[in-house]
Structure 1
Amino acid sequence: MTDKLTLDKFEEAAELVKKVTLPTKLEYSESLSDMTGGKIYLKPENFQYTGAYKVRGAYYKIATLNDEQRSHGLITSSAGNHAQGVAYAAKKFGCKATIVMPTGTPLIKVNRTKNYGAEVILQGDVYDDAYEYAMKLAEERNLTFIHPFDDLDVATGQGTIAMEIVQELPTVDYILVPVGGGGLVTGVSTLAKMLNPKIKVIGVEPKNAASMTEALKNDGPVTLPSANTIADGTAVKRVGTKIFPYCKENIAQMLTVDDSRLIGAFLNMVENHKMIVENSGLLPVAALDQLDLKGKKAVLVLSGGNMDVITMSSVVQHGLIQQDRIFTVSVLLPDKAGELVKVASTIADENGNVIKLEHNQFVSINRQASVELRITMESYGTSHKQQILKALEAKGYQPKVVDTKLY
């Protein structure tokens, strides 16, 4: 392994990135601390100018280029956040930037990248497709390529997060980091070990895009057949080759998370911390229950907050349904006056809140025998839901829980 990732370079990068970053001070999480028995802190990189940590690596990388390399113009491929980082940093240096992004990139990331003055090209289904196209354009147009993760200068810039964490919380035991291509975890884990070998850096990635987990198992990067996850910022099929040796040496452990766990983590951040964190940034939060952190101090790197409102509304809806805070039941009623009032009163007596009703008189040929009433309601959670169902049963109804669809 080369010794290119040096403490001197990390210190240089830490000073340089101050020009384009906001101080993201650690925030103590009372709710997550109570849940784990440890002391849990959040590193809110979602509060950066560009909504993510990626500007650190992009700015430091561009700072290391010479005038000729910058004058050619810059190009990169990105699932979103690196795109904004490069576009913003390029603007600071007065460089032209071209960004290739997957076609499914959230609109908020596309528009913000354009707003920083970059040319945006949508190509391919996932990051890897966009990367191949960007490399082709770089050769055709003689542009300087800025790799989003497989670049030691970029990783050095990302590693400045570890510098800030250790300066603010010298006694930190664990740092949990989202992993996509591996640039962030490379910088953070390498610098953390330089500053304090006792710190354990844990990488977290989506179960359906576990490229670093597979790379470590196989002692080298492998290409996954797919990277299908709602955590679009970490949907990478193959981790970087240049950064892998550092990951192998410095990552203490890798964890994987089901997409469904990210939904509950999103609600946790919104309700308990008043933060919008994108799905990739939620990976460390969603992985907490896989670790024994009793009596330990852990920092969760919330890597970004660039989530479009359509995705946000969908995640909120699914989260409420997942936690039984919204559910739908079907009951059969005699088709006569007053029956609807009886059902509504039963629900109201148990503090349930009806938000949608569907009355189907054609569920049976014999309308005098029964009609179907579908009721979508709010509850406080699973135990409250069961309380409401038991109350309906006690009144002689036979409620059946059905799939909830709000729209």
Structure 2
Amino acid sequence: MADSTDTKTAVTLDDVRRASKVIEGAVVHTPFDRSRTLSHDLGADIWLKFENLQFTSSYKERGALVRLSALSEAERKRGVIAMSAGNHAQGVSYHAGRLGIPATIVMPEGTPAVKAENTKRWGARVILEGKTLEDAARFAHAYGKEHGLVFVHPFNDLLVIAGQGTVALEILADVPDLDVLLVPVGGGGLIAGMAVAAKALKPDIEIVGVEAALYPSVYNIIKGTQMPARGDTLAEGIAVANPGDVTCEIISRLVDDIVLVSETDLERATFALLMIEKTVVEGAGAAGLAAMMADRQRWKGRKVGLVLTGGNIDPRLLASVLTRELAREGRLSRLTIDIPDRPGELSRVSGVLGQAGANIIEVYHQRVFTDLPAKGTELNLVIETRDKSHLEGVLAQLEAKGYRVVVKAAQAG
């Protein structure tokens, strides 16, 4: 493999093929299946690469294993160090454990405990240091240098890039006639490796990267814009403020476009994959589908490959995504109704809702913090309906009985 300073030939198809041999038998050749329902609904021929079915639920295993396998015997004995808040950490920890290589993982102080514990599970030593990923990275570099450890970069490494490129080899071996690959982009390792392999095998294939709108770092570099990269995004796996120089050079040469998706787009795509494909995908893994759902006309009639990059999403966050989307679809709604404060009034409201076919999920009264008269009360309900038209029918029946109803709508974006 060429030296990283010569980025024009930094990673080649042969490098990716060699990486494929390295990971054979140790990393899952994940399914690449057509989604009949999504294809029908979006008017395109949609194929899904289920990298969330890797042992650690992420494609990151590929590059981590290729990098670890290239260590000298002396380097293996000294060990490695990596910085990550999630998937890269687990990939390095798992395969280092398999290979008998001591591993130290530096994670930011605010990393959820479940991610730290999953990383420790495979034998890595976890150090919580720094308030941000950048702080953790600085500490990891300094600590690694002090202790003679090899730093395993999550994306800006030639061997890691080649390892991630094996995703494209598998995709095009399974379905050679794709028109487009839609790939989530954080630091750029995955799309850079995939672009090297895919463009060499099929020069006319279109490769489009997808970033969260809150972190348009590669978009800024490619498009010459200066949008800020900050905030809490559902797609935390691609929330990278400073992408790699090696990865961006490859992207600028081989990737056709970069698009941005909103948080609502990401939530809807995550919800759709769970409800339609019955597969759990983290926000970053849903980015490709989010791009298709946000701009359906662009992909209409085309054969599109999407990479579901990972499935490591916090259960509470997933529950929030699901309930928010149910609210957007009109299947969960919060109602505020002004009623007289007298016996039987709640029963009357419940009767109207029952006759209309609505299900009451939550109910509580508000008598103090309201501007209603002393003999009035504010009734707050969360109800379940089939869809928006059913909700409209329920509201009409309540209003027909003389109730004034205010609906708390779900946020659209």
Preserved CA contact (<8 Å) 2:328 2:409? no
1:314 deviates by: 2.4
Distance in 1 (alpha carbons) for counterparts of 2:46 and 2:229: 35
1:19 deviates by: 2.6
- Identity, in percent, stands at 37
| 2:83 aligned partner | 77
Distance in 2 (alpha carbons) for counterparts of 1:284 and 1:126: 26
Which of 135, 138, 142 in structure 1 is aligned with 2:144? 138
1:166 deviates by: 0.2
1:366 deviates by: 4.5
Which of 349, 355, 358 in structure 1 is aligned with 2:361? 355
Which of 99, 113, 117 in structure 2 is aligned with 1:111? 117
| 1:247 aligned partner | 251
Query: Structure 2 unaligned runs (5+)?
Result: 1-6
Change (3 A) 1:225 1:301: closer
| 1:262 aligned partner | 266
Change (3 A) 1:192 1:61: same
Matches for 1:162-181 after TM superposition, within 5 Å? 162-181=168-187
1:37 deviates by: 0.7
Preserved CA contact (<8 Å) 1:127 1:235? no
1:30 deviates by: 2.2
Say how many residue pairs are matched: 401
Preserved CA contact (<8 Å) 1:175 1:202? yes
1:43 and 2:49 are equivalent in the alignment: yes
Change (3 A) 1:232 1:102: farther
Preserved CA contact (<8 Å) 2:157 2:246? yes
Query: Structure 1 unaligned runs (5+)?
Result: none
Preserved CA contact (<8 Å) 1:126 1:227? no
| 2:106 aligned partner | 100
TM (norm. structure 2) is 0.92
1:281 and 2:295 are equivalent in the alignment: no
Which of 44, 56, 67 in structure 2 is aligned with 1:61? 67
Preserved CA contact (<8 Å) 2:334 2:407? yes
Which of 207, 212, 215 in structure 2 is aligned with 1:209? 215
Residues 15-49 of structure 1 show CA distances to partners (whole Å, capped at 9, x for unaligned) of: 22123212211122122212221111111101101
1:148 deviates by: 0.3
TM (norm. structure 1) is 0.93
Cα root mean square deviation, aligned: 2.0
Matches for 1:248-397 after TM superposition, within 5 Å? 248-289=252-293, 290-291=295-296, 292-362=298-368, 363=370, 366-368=373-375, 370-397=376-403
1:395 deviates by: 1.8
1:225 deviates by: 5.5
Preserved CA contact (<8 Å) 1:20 1:55? no
Residues 104-144 of structure 1 show CA distances to partners (whole Å, capped at 9, x for unaligned) of: 33333221110010011122343222211111111111110
Preserved CA contact (<8 Å) 1:128 1:236? no
Change (3 A) 1:206 1:173: same
Distance in 2 (alpha carbons) for counterparts of 1:18 and 1:379: 49
Preserved CA contact (<8 Å) 1:223 1:238? no
Residue range with higher mean Cα deviation, 272-281 or 375-384:
375-384
The letter for the 2-side match of 1:77 is M
Distance in 1 (alpha carbons) for counterparts of 2:400 and 2:372: 27
Secondary structure of the residue that 2:299 maps to in structure 1? coil
The letter for the 2-side match of 1:21 is V
Distance in 2 (alpha carbons) for counterparts of 1:50 and 1:160: 17
Residues 336-380 of structure 1 show CA distances to partners (whole Å, capped at 9, x for unaligned) of: 343323221222222211111112344467444x32211111122
Distance in 2 (alpha carbons) for counterparts of 1:89 and 1:224: 35
1:94 deviates by: 1.1
The letter for the 1-side match of 2:77 is S
Residue range with higher mean Cα deviation, 283-292 or 161-170:
283-292
Residue range with higher mean Cα deviation, 143-152 or 331-340:
331-340
Distance in 2 (alpha carbons) for counterparts of 1:365 and 1:271: 42
Which of 194, 217, 229 in structure 1 is aligned with 2:233? 229
